Homo-oligomer: A and B are copies of this chain.
C-alpha cells in the first residue's frame, strides 16, 4: 500500500492548500496580513507554520524518494508568503502524482538511511510506518491546529477531504 499511502499524502497536501485559502479569506475579512500566519507558533520553541508546511512537504517527498530510489525536486526553506507555500505544496503534489505503483515495487525491503541516522538503517516498511507516516501526520495536523488556533474556521471535513464512498443501493 506504499503507492496508495503516498497518493493519500498528495491528497492531504491538497487539503492544506484549502486551509490556506480559508486562512487568506479569514485574514481579508479581519483586515490583517495573511502572511502573518507563516510565523505563528503553538509554543515559543516550536517551529512556525511555514516550517510545519515545509516539513510536511519534505516528509512526503523524501519518503517517496527513498522508497522508490527516485530523485525528488529540491525546495529551499525560504517561503515568506502564503503564495510561496502554495507553490511548494503544488510542486510536491505534482511530483508525487507522477509516481506509479510500479515505482514502489520492492519498497518494503529497501534499505533506508538518512543523513541524521549516523549510518543506521531501517527497512522501507519500518521507515514508512514508524517515521514517514507519523511525521507527515504530525506536521499536517500542526498546520491545521495553528490555523484553527488563530481563528480560521477549518473543520474535520476540511481535514479529511472527499472520501471514496459508494452510495447505498436503492
- The residue from B129, B134, B149 contacting A1, defined by CB atoms under 8 A apart: B129
Nearest chain B CB to A94's CB is how many angstroms away?
A: 21
Q: Does A78 contact B (CB under 8 A)?
A: no
How far, in angstroms, from A93 to B156 measured CA to CA in the complex? Answer: 25
- Which of B12, B149, B159, B165 lies in contact with A120, CB distance below 8 A? B165
Given the known interface contacts A120-B167, A130-B163, A163-B126, the answer about A148 and B43 at a Cβ–Cβ threshold of 8 Å is yes
Number of copies: 2
Give the 10 A-B CB pairs with smallest separation, nearest first: A137-B137, A119-B168, A141-B141, A120-B165, A126-B164, A42-B149, A145-B145, A8-B129, A121-B166, A43-B148
Chain A residues packing against B (C-beta within 8 Å): 1, 4-5, 8, 11-12, 42-43, 46, 117-123, 125-126, 129-131, 133-138, 140-142, 144-145, 148-149, 151, 156, 159-161, 163-168
Contact in complex: B135, A138 (CB < 8 Å) = no
Which residues in B have their C-beta under 8 angstroms from that of A140?
A: 134, 137, 141
Distance (whole angstroms) from the CB of A113 to the closest CB of chain B: 9
**Chain A contact residues, majority secondary structure:** helix
State whether B125 touches A4 (Cβ < 8 A).
yes
Cβ contacts under 8 Å, A137 to chain B: 133-134, 136-138, 140-141
| CB neighbours of A122 from chain B (8 A) | 163-166
- In the complex, which residue of chain B has the Cβ closest to the Cβ of A108? B1
A129 adjacent to B168 (CB under 8 Å): no
Nearest B residue to A144, CB-CB: B138
A116–chain B nearest beta-carbon distance, Å = 11
